[in-house]
Structure 1
Amino acid sequence: MEAKSLNGVMTFAPTSRQELMKYAFDHHKIMVAVNAEKILHATDDSRALINRNLGYPDGIGAVWALQKKGAKNVVKIPGCELWLDMVSHYYKTKSFYLVGGKQEIIEDTVAKLNADFKGITICNYRNGYVKTEAEELALIEDIKKHNPDVVFVAMGSPKQENVMERIQKSHQAVYQGLGGSFDVYTGHVKRAPEWWVKNNMEWTYRLLSQPSRIKRQIHLVRFFVNLHLNRY
């Protein structure tokens, strides 16, 4: 699977979700979502963090940038869908450990996964409020003890990626950072309707739903101008 440098952010260009998942399992990777914002606002630290791991095109901006670099068959893979693809493909043969969200959210997530995927092996779980070094060390020890194949961490970026890297030093597995995906899965946060998602206009729906995001979305205009001028 090829990767391209987008403003110094090495981003893989999978041609299918199956290809990305297989690569992650074959190489015990930490999967990091890459979108227009992460490309536009890349710093030395954020580049290094993504480049050590498996950056994949979570948003249409990253897809367009990869296509401009010659990756013609690349597909967009939203992280909030990818983790459920992983569960769907591997829940009969792999085990899972979940970290993130409020206690209510993580409990609802585990209950819904058990209902949606009969027989799934969820080794253990905990909320995302890991505030002290002692709590993080206890989490690492618990993950080592339960030996999961897949660890999902929903804390927001870059905190979740930093935590996953520290855990991975003690336990080799496939890791994915999920941001607010547990909230979406359990219905606590509403995702854009299917039409908006399919037509690559999810960001527009978010803006219409939350006008306060306008300052954040203005940066996307800069990204597309830079992309058009071949600055990536």
Structure 2
Amino acid sequence: MKSGFINGINIYTPESRIELIEYAIFNRKILVAVNAEKILHATSKSRSIINKNVGYPDGMGAVWSLRKKGYKNVMKIPGCELWLDIIKHYHSSKTFYLVGGEKEVIEATVMKLKKEYKGIEILNYRNGFLRNNNEKEKLIKDIIEKRPDVVFVAMGSPLQELLMVEMQKKHQATYQGLGGSFDVYTGYVHRAPKWWVRNSLEWCHRLLSQPLRIKKQIHLIRFFILLRFNKF
């Protein structure tokens, strides 16, 4: 599977989602979504985590960066869709463990998954608020005992990546960080309408519906300037 480096981050450019999924499943890797923010604010630690695992182009910033480097057929792979692709292909043959979201969100997620994917084996789940080190160690111990094939962690970056690295050291499995995907899946948060998604304007829709996000997304201006002048 091909990949390219952007600001020291190795980003895979699969020909299809299933190619990416099968690679991560077979090699028991952590799937890390890469977007403009992760590229712009990359550190030696974040680069190390991504480059030892599987970074994929979750945002258009990553897609545009790769295309500018000559990777013409790069596709955007939204993490909020990828985890459901994994379940769709493996719900009858793999076991799962879910971490993340508020208590009511994770419970609604599990209920909906069991309804939509008959026979899915979810070994355990818990919310994404680890209040202290004891709770984290208890979670990792349970992961070791249950031995799931796939673990989804929806806590936001960089917390979810750091936790997945710890888990991976204790139990080899396929992991994916999901951010707020459980909220989207259960309808607690609504994703942008299909037209915005199809035209790569999902970020713009979020900004229009949540103006306060401008403080977080202002970095995109700097990202595009650096990209325009080949600084990555």
Count of residues in correspondence between the two structures: 232
Report 1:135-146 matches (<5 A). 135-146=135-146
Match of 2:114 in 1: 114
* 1:72, distance to aligned residue in structure 2 (A): 1.6
List per-residue Cα deviations over 1:187-206 (Å, max 9, x = no partner): 00111011100110001101
CA contact (8 A) 2:49 2:165 kept: no
Instruction: Find the aligned partners of 2:173 and 2:48 in 1 and give their Cα distance.
Output: 20
Report the residue type matching 1:4 in the other structure: G
3-state SS in 1 of match to 2:165: helix
Residue 187 (structure 2) pairs with residue 187 (structure 1): yes
Q: Normalised by the size of structure 1, how large is the TM-score?
A: 0.97
Q: Distance in 1 between matches of 2:50 and 2:37?
A: 13
TM-superposed deviation, 1:67: 1.3
Query: In the alignment, what sits opposite 1:25?
Result: 25
Q: Give the match for residue 130 of structure 1.
A: 130
Separation of aligned partners in 1, 2:185 and 2:36: 23
Is the contact between residue 16 and residue 74 of structure 1 (CA under 8 Å) also seen in structure 2?
A: no
Which residue in 2 is equivalent to 1:9? 9
Secondary structure at the aligned position of 1:172 is classed as: coil
- 1:21 Cα deviation from its structure 2 partner: 0.3
Distance 2:227 2:134 in 1: 44
For 2:7 and 2:129, the matched residues in 1 are separated by 32
Following TM superposition, by how much is the alpha carbon of 1:135 offset from its aligned partner in structure 2, in angstroms? 1.5
> How far apart, in 1, do the equivalents of 2:227 and 2:15 lie?
21
> Can you list the C-alpha shifts for 1:153-204, whole angstroms capped at 9, x where unaligned?
1111111111111111111110000111001100001110111001100011
TM-align CA RMSD: 1.1
Structure 2 stretches lacking a partner, 5+ long:
none
> What TM-score results when the alignment is normalised by the length of structure 2?
0.97
**Unpaired stretches in structure 1, ≥5 consecutive residues:** none
Alignment of 1:28-177 (within 5 A): 28-177=28-177
Cα separation, 1, equivalents of 2:229 and 2:3: 21
